Chains A and B, each alone.
Chain A
């Protein structure tokens, strides 16, 4: 294996039989991003390849936690031209022309990407920062612009920050153009301080993750734990079809070990216990000599394979990117040969000490010595001189005793018996939805969603939040996945609330002024639903209200150009919805229009179609409306809405006022077994 410099980039190469393979890697990944930039590295990776098109040779790009790689396999000249082309694309800035295209591609990719054990647990361990960002949607795609992307590329896709390896001598014709920027030496921060080991209920299989320092012993411990899990769960008990083991390199120092067991939820607790027993037994007694010898023999065999050199180059490139000591294949082999049961036992002990044990939602909580997982350092609004607001979303919530408290340091939803709070700090990020709701996310990853219409004078809270959080940390996202529920009266309060001119005691909507429309999308979209359906019905309703001039005069004054473009048919309702969400959160529609919308959107009974659903089906000629696209059924549905609006009697000022201002019942004492302690 040779090491040197190719085109100004640190490089490794070896003579490996088969087609030529090359990999260009950069020391930048998801954990280098901020939540407001989440996805920017992935976007750069896509953009670098966006001009390549369809080719006969194989290629791909990948974005990891700290490394982004471009790999290509083909004839040597194809490898050379591919790498030259993608670096030229990056360096020239040509890729920026494809920004919107790739942004859309990534948004679609993001929706197909499910969360998994690794991303969920990294999120729990690191919060909304560093490695924890792996578990977050690519929210940055909603706000990053050309300048952001260019700056990110110029900072990270540089000669000094790259390592290249080839399975052949460096091919002729390479012309690699990168940026001039220093090597990225950023060290990801430590995990949040949380009490581990702990168990947690999650939507997923029985699983355990643990953090380890990267070493050959750690890889061995992971493999040996996995082997025991497989033996116990598959071969002996038959509880799982394919227990899996994973060893994810997070950065130059740290790795995450994962063992998981598929299988029916009713066996989740037993499977989790078996996984834990495997970790615990090796952490207590170490592996047997036979187990370790078998592992070493397997490693030795893989070192003798024809492609072992590629694995070695990958490992050495990773060390070079992370500025770690580079070990030769011989040195690694010697380290593996020197692994002892004791060194494996120590690593397993570290895994046990940092373990998060996941049980499927349906599984009973364990009765072992594991405590329940809790988020790190949960803040509280108690004693924070917080302003208090009462919920009036519906009568049920009143009696739940819920209150929203907010101060400059914390926003808390307090209820009996549990409260939930997020911290307001320079790292806090807010997601602004098109319907005026706001999701507050603090550095630890705690999230609290605020709907202005769900709280007394809720608009004031949202306005306060918009002033408090700097604009660069507000991400505007059009839709919010919730569905309206409740009784007819509660439903109106779900979709509509007081405007800024409202008095909480006023009963006459003439005195209330315009009110907010709180729109939504359906919570669970069936498979095959077209993309445009995601923006419905909130966008449609706003569009129809704007079309019928049922929005407030402020709405008309604030975004006149957008409204004009919309009414001329140049903008779809979803764009109008998004612009409205960016511009305003208050004073949107007239009370009687909100009342109409509430009546239209809320099913009369649970699991029954709403009037809006019926209209969609009607407009689709009796076929399932899910298959319709926005363009196809918009005029038809609006015509039906117009007809409904024309025939439906107005409820009258007094009725609307009554619905909007329910009597708040007194709070009952919650049932409790609480007794005084001595």
Chain B
């Protein structure tokens, strides 16, 4: 299976390798937090996720727990964390109302619901930011609402500056800011790459925020509808991404914690074996990930995460053999 955008793959017929996708990527603690939250044990859930600000955990919570449960949590235990998560959940709900169709294909009746929900999220998040002035939590989803409500690049930059002041190189915030700077959201390729390279050069070596550099390359090739293999085989692209990935791999543990896994997945998509260095890099990336495939950014290419990940792994590792 090749990485091709928007191409629906045939159902597995035995020819495609696949993996069992674990939404919690082996993180039992987070699984416990979600279960506790769903059962109404807010305190227990909060304790479990207390020091885990990574977007992976946020999106797991957001995507695994019904809105009503988050609403109940926020009502019972209003805090920067619970209310910001509620805001983030409303952002998710807004996109469910809108659907992921292209703008011109969205049913007009859905637009009002989409925008109302985003405004609801924006209202809550602004209130949280005004009440807990030092809390970084509301600022990352406020970048999402800023984008959805089309508030513009200046507003996005201002929000990111506020987030950066409160939590430097917040992974979720950096990822959202990158989206805001994309061409499809009114930005430009230049602005997107400028931001991604700034993060890559200034964030700590083990920062999960560094995923923005491979994601920027992915956004570029999708936007320009380029061939994945040809794009990632270009020497200057290889030079930039391989260097960045190697620095990241050096800085993180041999068995990386869940927080680092999304960035590993992003680097892996970009890692085409074209020589011995990239062949070793691809092998190392797949080794560190194991079976912990994350929906983003694989879902930019295919909806079946298990198949696209496993197929890509087989192909890339086979290709790598030629150089080793």
Check B150 against A403 for contact (C-beta < 8 Å). Answer: no
Bound-state CA distance A419–B123 (Å) is 12
Bound-state CA distance A381–B152 (Å) is 25
Q: Which A residues, 373 to 430, have Cβ-Cβ distances below 8 Å to chain B?
A: 374, 376-382, 401, 403, 414, 416-419
Check A669 against B149 for contact (C-beta < 8 Å). Answer: no
Q: Interface centre among A366, A367, A369, A677, by most B CB within 10 Å?
A: A677
Check B300 against A669 for contact (C-beta < 8 Å). Answer: no
Check B130 against A365 for contact (C-beta < 8 Å). Answer: no
Bound-state CA distance A377–B120 (Å) is 9
The answer, among B149, B179, B186, for a CB contact under 8 Å with A677, is B179
Check A382 against B116 for contact (C-beta < 8 Å). Answer: yes
A236 at the interface (CB under 8 A from B): no
Check A368 against B158 for contact (C-beta < 8 Å). Answer: yes
B interface secondary structure, majority: helix
The answer, among A367, A380, A670, for a CB contact under 8 Å with B119, is A380
CB contacts (< 8 Å) of B152 on chain A: these are: 365
CB contacts (< 8 Å) of B155 on chain A: these are: 365, 371-372
Bound-state CA distance A201–B318 (Å) is 59
A667 at the interface (CB under 8 A from B): yes
Chain A's nearest CB lies how many Å from the CB of B162? 6
Check B103 against A416 for contact (C-beta < 8 Å). Answer: no
- Asked if A367 meets B154 with Cβ closer than 8 Å, knowing A673-B185, A673-B186, A677-B179, the reply is yes
Check B159 against A371 for contact (C-beta < 8 Å). Answer: yes
Check A370 against B158 for contact (C-beta < 8 Å). Answer: yes
Check B123 against A675 for contact (C-beta < 8 Å). Answer: no
CB contacts (< 8 Å) of B122 on chain A: these are: 374, 378
CB contacts (< 8 Å) of B133 on chain A: these are: 353
Check A374 against B115 for contact (C-beta < 8 Å). Answer: no
Bound-state CA distance A417–B122 (Å) is 14
Check B119 against A419 for contact (C-beta < 8 Å). Answer: yes
Check B154 against A382 for contact (C-beta < 8 Å). Answer: no
Bound-state CA distance A379–B159 (Å) is 22
The answer, among A365, A380, A417, for a CB contact under 8 Å with B120, is A380
B161 at the interface (CB under 8 A from A): yes
Check A403 against B112 for contact (C-beta < 8 Å). Answer: yes
Check A669 against B119 for contact (C-beta < 8 Å). Answer: no
B87 at the interface (CB under 8 A from A): no
Q: Which B residues, 144 to 201, have Cβ-Cβ distances below 8 Å to chain A?
A: 144, 147-152, 154-155, 157-159, 161-162, 165, 179, 184-186
Chain B's nearest CB lies how many Å from the CB of A373? 10
Chain A's nearest CB lies how many Å from the CB of B7? 16
Bound-state CA distance A401–B133 (Å) is 37
Check A377 against B106 for contact (C-beta < 8 Å). Answer: no
- Asked if A417 meets B126 with Cβ closer than 8 Å, knowing A371-B158, A382-B117, A676-B101, the reply is no
Check A380 against B112 for contact (C-beta < 8 Å). Answer: no
The answer, among B111, B147, B299, for a CB contact under 8 Å with A416, is B111
Check B123 against A193 for contact (C-beta < 8 Å). Answer: no
Chain A's nearest CB lies how many Å from the CB of B238? 24
CB contacts (< 8 Å) of A53 on chain B: these are: none
Check B158 against A677 for contact (C-beta < 8 Å). Answer: no
CB contacts (< 8 Å) of A372 on chain B: these are: 151, 155, 158
Check B185 against A380 for contact (C-beta < 8 Å). Answer: no
Q: Which A residues, 79 to 138, have Cβ-Cβ distances below 8 Å to chain B?
A: none
Check B150 against A365 for contact (C-beta < 8 Å). Answer: no
Check B112 against A414 for contact (C-beta < 8 Å). Answer: yes
A223 at the interface (CB under 8 A from B): no
What 1/0 mask marks residues of chain A from 429 to 463 whose CB sits below 8 Å from any chain B CB?
00000000000000000000000000000000000
Find the B residue at minimum CB distance from A412. B116
Check B120 against A382 for contact (C-beta < 8 Å). Answer: yes
CB contacts (< 8 Å) of B144 on chain A: these are: 677
Bound-state CA distance A370–B104 (Å) is 33
Find the A residue at minimum CB distance from B187. A673
CB contacts (< 8 Å) of B297 on chain A: these are: 678
What 1/0 mask marks residues of chain B from 195 to 239 whose CB sits below 8 Å from any chain A CB?
000000000000000000000000000000000000000000000
Check A193 against B113 for contact (C-beta < 8 Å). Answer: no
Find the A residue at minimum CB distance from B165. A369
Bound-state CA distance A374–B157 (Å) is 17
What 1/0 mask marks residues of chain B from 8 to 33 whose CB sits below 8 Å from any chain A CB?
00000000000000000000000000
Bound-state CA distance A676–B148 (Å) is 10
Bound-state CA distance A677–B295 (Å) is 12
Q: Which B residues, 281 to 315, have Cβ-Cβ distances below 8 Å to chain A?
A: 295-297, 299-300
Bound-state CA distance A378–B127 (Å) is 10
Check A380 against B123 for contact (C-beta < 8 Å). Answer: yes
Bound-state CA distance A374–B126 (Å) is 9
Check A193 against B131 for contact (C-beta < 8 Å). Answer: yes
The contact sample of 12 A-B pairs, CB cut-off 8 A, is A193-B130, A353-B133, A365-B152, A366-B154, A369-B158, A369-B162, A376-B127, A380-B119, A380-B123, A670-B111, A672-B150, A676-B99
Given contacts A378-B119, A381-B116, A670-B111, 9 further A-B contacts (CB under 8 A): A195-B126, A365-B155, A369-B165, A372-B151, A372-B155, A374-B122, A378-B123, A380-B123, A676-B100
The list of the 5 closest CB pairs from A to B, nearest first, reads: A369-B161, A676-B100, A382-B116, A674-B103, A195-B130
